[in-house]
Amino acid sequence: MKQRLKVALVSQRTAQWRMLLAQHKDLPIQLIFDDEENFAERARHCSVLWGDTPEGARWLPRLPNIQWYHTFFSGVDALLPLRAQLPKDLLVTNSRDIAGPHIAEYVLGQLLNLSRQIGHYQRLQQQCQWQWMDYRTVEEDRALVLGTGAIGQTVAQRLAPWVERVDGVSRSGRAVEGFGSVHQWHSIHPILDQYRIVVNTLPHTPETDGVLAASFFDALAADAIFINVGRGATVQDEALLSALDAEPERRAVLDVFRVEPLPQEHPYWQHKQVVVTPHVAAQSQPQWVLPIVLDNLRRYLDGASLRNLVDLELGY
């Protein structure tokens, strides 16, 4: 009888994963969950690891036999400092397919909330005040998406029916379906003020660390809405705060931060032009991630190419 593939699972949602995978008893695998007795010793004999990115980063250096790691998240930031410790032939895949639609939904929701004064009217309702305000319609606005990868493409596709135009920014400036045009990174500063909506989907890599600096934020339109659903470490916080203070009509919607949870003393919390959310633009709920995991499991067992392969040298 062929020996079943040994798979270790590490997650903040282990209980949910156990319940969900219990419905798939026919899988040719032996699952070992991180809340089980002697997990550390048993996991050392596994060749596959599934899990949240931070938990995976903690365990991978301790599990020498892992050949394939699938993260339930789209980002792999926590793995990057470990690259020298990991096998060169380690296969790493992520769950970015679910992130795109959820992030696009978040972007659109925040954009409509700000443009149509929805939050303001909720505050007026609490005060029993009948008071109307002028609003802007997003159909007159142009949007610029930083990053033209899978998530950036989905954001562009979902925004396109709502706004006048969606353009993108990438290193190469190569044309990508779904964008009106794609600009090279080094050429965007003179044209930034043409876009009221600027959405950051950039991953955190050595190349993008702090790339959104004063020269970028100061060049934004006076009424720009900057939405960060990429990574907080791509932003120089002081530069963003300074640009907001310089133009009272600018807004920032921030879902990701260099330090998470965001420290209570951070000025973002109290800034009237900033919306803070706790990294919820796209959650990795097990029922959404499972189809990607099962598809990749079939591919792995068949010796086929895996879906959503990550290049740790590039960071995405």
Catalytic residues: 231, 279
Nearest to 111 by CA among 148, 146, 136, 147: 136
Report residue 301: phi and psi, to 5°: -70, -30
Q: Which residue type, as a one-letter code, is found at position 231? A: R
Per the structure block, which two tokens stand in for 299?
């591919």
Are 107 and 229 within 8 A, CB to CB?
Answer: yes
The residues that bridge with 275 in the sheet, in sequence order, are 253
Are 189 and 170 within 8 A, CB to CB?
Answer: no
Report residue 226: phi and psi, to 5°: -100, 125
Per the structure block, which two tokens stand in for 64?
């020498």
Q: How much is the CA Rg of the chain, to the nearest whole Å?
A: 22
Per the structure block, which two tokens stand in for 194?
């043409």
Nearest to 253 by CA among 117, 155, 111: 111
Are 102 and 81 within 8 A, CB to CB?
Answer: no
211 vs 234: CA distance, rounded Å: 5
Q: Which residue type, as a one-letter code, is found at position 109? A: G
